[in-house]
Amino acid sequence: QSVLTQPPSVSGAPGQRVTISCTGSSSNIGAGYDVHWYQQLPGKAPKLLIYGNSNRPSGVPDRFSGSKSGTSASLAISGLQAEDEADYYCQSYDSSLSGRVFGGGTKLTVL
């Protein structure tokens, strides 16, 4: 059971827009800690996708965007492409655990 809750899977057709939610609590996201997102392609190491709730590292397409409100955060992917098929993880800090926490991950399928 992960501290941050994500849907196990989402899907969308090429060109569509999908969102992935990340729900926390008052000891992590709700306490004001930033949320970060990672993309993990099959058999590869995770790659930073969004940092500080809504910032994209250099090289990440602007099709990817992040937001945060209250005890939740969201990752939106617009203009879906086949290469976006991957697992996506949110991450934050939890004050009661005194450490980093990850969501359980969401598998994105491009139909």
- List residues near other proteins by CB under 8 A: 2, 33-34, 36, 38, 40, 45-48, 51-52, 57, 89, 91, 93, 97-105
Which residues share a beta bridge with 93?
A: 100
Q: Which residue's CB is nearer to other proteins, number 80 or number 101? A: 101
Which residues lie below 8 Å from residue 28, measured CB to CB, with a gap of 6+? 3, 4, 71, 92, 93, 94, 95, 101
Q: Which residue's CB is nearer to other proteins, number 17 or number 44? A: 44
Contact, 63 vs 49, CB < 8 A?
Answer: no
Q: Which residue's CB is nearer to other proteins, number 37 or number 84? A: 37
